[in-house]
Chains A and B, each alone.
Chain A
Amino acid sequence: MKNHFLVFFLFSSFLHSGIRAQELFPNNDPASNVGKNVLAVRASSEFFEDAGQTRSFQAYKFMFGLSSKWMLTETFSFSNHHSPRLPDGFIQHDPLGNPYTDGVKRGSPYPYLFESLDVNIKYRFLSHDSEHKHFRMAAYLDLAGGNEAHYEAEPELIGDNGGAGAGLIATLLLHKFAASINTGGIVPSDYTDAFSGVVISYGKAAYLNLSLGYLVYPGTYRSYNQTNINLYAEFQCKAYDGMVISENGKEVMIQNVPALESGSYVEFRPSVQFIIRSNTRIDLCVATHIYNRSWAHNDPAFFFTLQQSIFFKSKS
């Protein structure tokens, strides 16, 4: 109920105030890219409690403007979300020797490990720019490498899974009101444990994310040194198939484990952002579910992001 009031408040603010918006969304990329020969470096952290364990996830993102329309992004991620191999007891056997699983005990301690490398290429194919307005669209492709023992059906290319993904982004900036829709799909690769012969096929996923943002300070710009304060409301909607597990070619029965089955959820992510000296960006965000839940993280999850741009000189 509290969440609904917050959503209502933010929408009302967008509609009724003489607002300025920003499209530097903390959780979703806008259709715009960083400029040509600009490298934006972003360090993001996510924390949540998992039955007595503090789960920590860090992503280091390097975004480089190849041209005004093409951007290449590489993301390296680390976390203590997974064990190096499937934990003992994940696959059990009934008296007849048939494999089954009742999931992983929540709150097990895991080491902090490298997870995956995600490479994203984005192309801005539509730009209608005018004074303090634009409508832009972009398409992107993701390729991720990684072979984590991920114990949830929900796939995530930055962190949990290897695989491929693609999507479309449409971003509107209208009299300083910014809104963006990011929609796409994920086809994760299988996890293979050569030692035990277990293969996990994760569910394919489709997502639609909505981002809204506005600038609350300053009202009027006087210099680059003024700290900007932006507020954002983002909604992450995702649906995914259930996972299929096999052991040495034999299907593993999943015994009523929601985290391993198909699902869908809507998550609300309000954020506050500080932009210092028009370059250094700090985002503080919290994620809370408003419809169903993600089993890949618990409620609430906290996010902290730091970003800085480096401007390289190009030949002129």
Chain B
Amino acid sequence: MTRFLFSKFAVLCIALTLYLPTMAQFSGAKLNVVGLTCSACSYATERSIRQLKFVQDVKMDLNSNIAEITFKPGEPVSIDQLVLKVYDAGFSVGKVTATYHFTNEVLTGKSWSAGSDTFMILGTDAVELKGDKQLVFVADKYMKKSEYKPYKAYINTETSQSKPNPSGRLYFVVM
């Protein structure tokens, strides 16, 4: 009976490891929201972002339209969901920067894993995965089209060749 319960617990732990999105390594993020000028638009965007359960606080600069977001400690964070909330509000994203706290991550080639997600570093040869680092995300909907263009071919190749966790996401970042 004890063995049975232990094996069930082990399966549960493995399942949780596989399905949990990125856990708690992110303390906050900055989003450049583009395509708007008025405070009513900023307000709608902030309300949209605040719906995410991992978001603790949002401070929106109404003149630059940069949203400074603090995440709840211990909550799994999805950068994709964060960006999607800006699009849901009717606007676009010009830049995504997040603060990542490295603990025991191991770099395999140019990438590391956190929860079910994989992060691949672009354009840096030597990186020390230690302490707090600023990650700038590189993706089609995360930045201006002209800025994404130089990365596009490389990202498409890497994405087609990689075999990330099916429940996870392969993010490309610049450090």
Residues of A within 8 A of B (CB): 20-22, 24, 32-38, 65, 67-68, 124, 127, 129-134, 173, 176, 215, 220-224, 226, 228, 275, 278-279, 281, 309, 311, 313-314, 316
Contact = CB atoms under 8 A, between A and B. Distances in A.
Contacts of A275: 38-40
23 contacts: A24-B38, A35-B89, A35-B90, A36-B89, A65-B90, A68-B88, A129-B91, A130-B34, A131-B32, A131-B34, A133-B34, A221-B39, A221-B42, A224-B42, A224-B62, A226-B39, A228-B40, A275-B38, A309-B44, A311-B47, A314-B51, A314-B88, A316-B81
Nearest to B95: A131
B144 interface: yes
Contact of B37 (A33, A132, A220, A316): A132
A312 to B, nearest CB: 9
A21 B39 contact: no
Interface of B: 32, 34-40, 42-45, 47-48, 51-53, 62-63, 65, 81, 85, 87-92, 94, 144
Contacts of A221: 39, 42, 62-63
A123 to B, nearest CB: 13
Contacts of B90: 32-36, 65, 68, 124
Nearest to B53: A316
A130 B39 contact: no
B144 to A, nearest CB: 6
Nearest to A225: B39
Contacts of B38: 22, 24, 215, 228, 275
Contact of A311 (B32, B36, B39, B44): B44
Contacts of A35: 44-45, 48, 88-90
Contact of A220 (B45, B63, B89, B144): B63
A133 B35 contact: yes
A24 B43 CA distance: 14
B88 A36 contact: yes
Most buried by A among B48, B53, B94, B144: B48
Contacts of B48: 35-36, 311
A17 B147 CA distance: 31
B36 to A, nearest CB: 8
Contacts of A176: 37
